[in-house]
Amino acid sequence: MACSPSPESDPQMLSEGLLYCAEGNPESFNPQLVTSGTTLDMTANLLYDRLIEYSDEAKEYVPALAESWQINEDGTEYSFTLREGVEFHQTRYFTPTRPLTATDVQFSFERWLNTDHPFHLISMTGYPFFSAVGLDRLIQRIEVKDDHNFTIHLHEPDSSFIANLATDFAVILSAEYGEQLVAEDNRVALDNLPVGTGPFKFQHFRKDVSLSYRRHQGYWQGAAKSERVVFRIIPSDHKRILMLLTKDCDIVPYPPARDLDDLDARDDINLYSTVSPNTAFWAFNTQKPPFDDVRVRQALIHAIDRESIVKAVYFGHAALAQSILPNTSWAHFSDEDAYTFDPVAARELLADAGYPNGFSMNIWALPVQRAYNPNARKMAELMQSDLANIGVQVNIVSYEWSTFRRRLADGDHDSVLIGWSGDNPDPDNFFRPLLSCAAVLSGSNRARWCEPRFDRLVMSAIRTADRDERLAFYREAQELLNNQVPLMPIVHSMRYKATQPYIEGMHLEPYGGTRLLNTHKGQP
């Protein structure tokens, strides 16, 4: 990634900008390449736009870069009309000569669709979300009709297609910038020196220190209320809260659950919350013995006292999960018997599987704070104690965030405490990205569990637009998960942000990453 001197040496930048204390470094500046919430928070809605958005207020998909769209009768052709006059960022490394056109959409999609595309192979991570949900196999071609009209042709109907276009991953890049980088023989800059149409444009990044953006004056929705956004990289949640209290941070995401009540009681801090469809879970690497044995997985699950986790890690600010699908979803199916705390049954299952004296294993603990898991280390320690009671000895493992994600994608783990926050309200968002066979290959299936029957059920669900039919398929899929337990859902939690009292325009969206278009400093 691009590095330059820290913006924290510029007093004007600090006085005019928002100081946002982030929990980790971005892995990339292109959301197409990641599934990390940390990276999405710092890039997706600040640097880029999508064709469409999901409006939680209206409970429907609404125009963004595409001002309208039509779907043919059999659901295999989606024709879009682009908004006119949308400007790309002008930066020190790129000056656009034209506004957004359908060619940019084609470039952005074919970058991850087409293995012969000049930018396809520069990604060292692949395109995990698109591969996991099968968009790279679903889309047949992108037909550009003129500057503002294009059609996406699908091989077959997919009721989740519009929802996937509204995710943080489906960003639109500049084809003209791509042409410049090819001419300069510097294609890797597409993901390290970003150009988008979003409300902010890239300025500086210094790993482990700070990241700064500046307002995009020509933004099609109107210029952002803040001149700059400066992300301070502070992995310690304790230090982030101290910096909030000393006014060295204006905004702190994911405040520790232990501090929520105290923060809420303070007059000099504003605490915002929203229902955030998410699930924290414990995934087993089912490609490694003994986790390839369903009896072992069931035993481990029955050994865990999840109610103690809710109290000790979330301080009551979470709901016990009975499915990988959040309890806010219309397709949620609850099976209260699937994940019960029953150490006696756990020991019996271990003995039946050939481990009467237990075994040793690793639990990888998420090294950053997320809405779904504010303290994975503490959670792992509680689970370590529970598992010792059935003879299973646990070693807790963690790494720096980028190393953690890379080794996790490589399948080096025995098990991992991680989670998922919904990008849109479609149930498919919690199934294919996390548990499909394709997601094993893309690296986002942390259980590395490939079950053809599960894939058939979720594929059947997306091939119909009838909600009752989809509900039946999703219920059967959840029953299969409850029986095979490639992972254990732990909790669904609220999403919080803490800010200085003079921060105005803060709004927490239930889906997707951070949005700061209308957020700014008012009168202290």
Q: Read off the pLDDT of residues 10-62 as tens digits, 9 standing for 90 and up.
A: 444 445 689 999 999 999 999 999 998 999 999 999 999 999 999 988 889 99
Q: Give 213's Cβ-side CA count (13 Å radius).
A: 30
Contact between 108 and 172 under an 8 Å Cβ cutoff? The reply is: yes
- One-letter amino acid for residue 393 of the chain: Q
User: Six-digit token pair at 5?
Assistant: 């001197």
Place of tokens 């927490």: 508
Q: What is the pTM of this model?
A: 0.89
**pLDDT tens, position by position, 396-419:** 999 988 889 889 989 999 999 999
- Would you state the pLDDT for residue 218? 96
- Would you state the pLDDT for residue 336? 82
Full set of structural domains in the chain with CATH: 14-24+198-269+500-523 (3.40.190.10), 49-197 (3.90.76.10), 278-494 (3.10.105.10)
| CA 424/CA 421 separation, integer angstroms | 9
The kind and range of the H/E element at 376 are: helix 376-388
User: Six-digit token pair at 100?
Assistant: 């957004």
Contact between 180 and 190 under an 8 Å Cβ cutoff? The reply is: no
Residue ranges of the chain whose pLDDT lies below 50:
2-14
| CA 411/CA 312 separation, integer angstroms | 29
**pLDDT tens, position by position, 482-509:** 999 999 999 999 889 999 999 999 988 8
User: Six-digit token pair at 322?
Assistant: 């009975």
Contact between 340 and 322 under an 8 Å Cβ cutoff? The reply is: no
Is the CA virtual torsion 463, 466, 472, 475 positive or negative?
positive
- One-letter amino acid for residue 232 of the chain: R
Q: CA-based angle 390:395:400, to the nearest 5?
A: 145
Q: Would you call 361 helix, strand, or coil by DSSP?
A: strand
Q: At residue 143, what are phi and psi to the nearest 5 degrees?
A: -105, 110
Name the average pLDDT for the chain: 94
Place of tokens 């909030």: 244
